[in-house]
Amino acid sequence: MPAQNSAANGSAAQPAITFTKEFPGSVPAYYSITLRSAGAAEYRAEYKAAPDDEPTELKVSEAAAQEAFRWAEKLGWFRDAKIESGKRVAQMGKKTFRYESGADQHEVSYNHTELPEAVALTSWFERLSATQQHMDRIEYLLRFDRLGIVKELLQMEVDLNQDRLLEPTLLLPALNKLLANKSLVNVAHDRAALIVEKINAGE
């Protein structure tokens, strides 16, 4: 137990980037991801839990995490960063980047950006959120609406093919759970097996 506490404290002491998106009317209307430099991440979304509930813990590869930190570094860790484009565009949700490393804390909010580094970092977090949302929907559908699983798998495959997912290997446990479920229709098993094959081929 002390070793686990030590590991948790060590993770919490690492520099962290948090991305928050608030977009009423969308699903989810709110989510946040806190990423630490070694790849540990925490995900919260309005549809999952109350704000004070425990977040979902994720683990992305260290290489993927370092990619996000490189973009943040290019943005000066959001210190006096001018990210908002200032152009008159439609409301696309309030997005916030926050950097924390000990007493060093900075954040910036924006609706729309054309700054390449900010676009890349936004895409990084949105792709990770999309991956987590697929996992959440599979879990929900298994419990409450098994007939909807095929449609969800079709959308998952589209997102995978169009590179809208980050670290798709995170989906493998959920997909293998589908494959082991004998009560699902064959088309769901076939689609899940195809996606697993594509993910493994892309590793």
List the chain pLDDT tens, one digit each, 203 residues.
344 444 445 566 789 999 999 998 888 999 999 999 999 999 999 865 555 578 899 999 999 999 999 999 999 999 987 899 988 888 889 999 999 999 999 999 999 999 999 999 999 999 999 999 999 999 999 999 999 999 999 999 999 999 999 999 999 999 999 999 999 999 999 999 999 999 999 86
Judge contact between 107 and 97, C-beta under 8 A: yes
Collect contacts of 75-79 with beta carbons under 8 A, ≥24 apart.
Answer: 75/115, 75/117, 75/118, 75/121, 77/101, 77/104, 77/106, 78/106, 78/107, 78/108, 79/106
Q: What is the pTM of this model?
A: 0.89
Q: How far apart are CA 42 and CA 19, in angstroms?
A: 11
- The pLDDT of residue 4 is 43
CA distances from 78 to 25, 73, 81, 116 (A): 28, 8, 5, 14
Report the 10 Å Cβ neighbour count for 57. Answer: 10
Report angle CA 59, 72, 83 to the nearest 5 degrees. 130
pLDDT score of 92:
85
The pLDDT assigned to 86 comes to 84
The C-alpha atoms of residue 36 and residue 70 are separated, in whole angstroms, by 13
What SS3 state is found at 176?
A: helix
Task: For the beta carbon of residue 11, count every other beta carbon within 10 angstroms.
Answer: 16
What's the half-sphere exposure (Cβ side, CA atoms, 13 Å) at 81?
Answer: 27
